[in-house]
Amino acid sequence: MQRRSLIKGLALSLTAPLAGKAFAQDGTIAAPIDAATAARMQHKAKHFDQDFEDDFYLTTEQQTHLLLPVLSKLAQAKKVVGFGHFNLMSVDELLKVVARTELGAFTRLEMDFIEETFFRDAKAYGFYGAKVSTELLSKINISKTIKMPGTGHYVFRGRPEVLYKELKKDVGDGIVLTSGIRSVVKQLDLFQR
């Protein structure tokens, strides 16, 4: 037990200098976030139910005719392929899966909405790290991923896999992998919610 406390303390002291920095999926560090941005992010997170001048909203019509149908189709795709595979799914795969469901293919307006969501500056959604993918149709190389048992999540082979396994060994079964690889489709799903 003392060993675990020591390891946790060491891990915290070693990672404290990284506070305010964003990590890419491959474990590399993106550009640091300035103190004012970090403070604003913390304030908005703490007061999430308040309106802020840089918030943006969809009209009722956009919510009804774009957001809700897109969310329904994303949920249907997740149901068809499963949670873990949904996290790795490409937009091309999404289009094929959704077209085969009872909801049918995305409309042109829904696709325009998806593209607008993807290409909008992620800071508008509160994400300040490096954009993992700059291409809407990018694909994750499945052979470079590994599913972490019992988590429903995948991580990239190599450094991310090693880091997770080391943390699990050092911290124990109490560690929870809450997010692994996030494809463009998974990010779209998160942004829409």
Q: Domain-by-domain residue ranges, the chain?
A: 2-192
Q: What is the pLDDT along the chain (193 residues), one digit of tens a residue?
A: 444 443 444 343 334 344 444 445 455 555 677 888 888 888 888 888 888 887 778 888 988 999 999 999 999 999 999 988 999 999 999 999 999 999 999 999 999 999 998 998 877 777 777 777 889 999 999 999 999 988 889 999 999 999 999 999 999 888 888 888 999 999 888 877 7
The predicted model scores a pTM of 0.72
Beta bridge partners of 146: 155
Helices (runs of H) and strands (runs of E) counted in the chain = 9, 4
- 3-state secondary structure at position 146: strand
Strands 153-156 and 145-148: antiparallel
Half-sphere exposure of 181 (CA within 13 A, CB side): 25
CA distance 128 to 21: 9
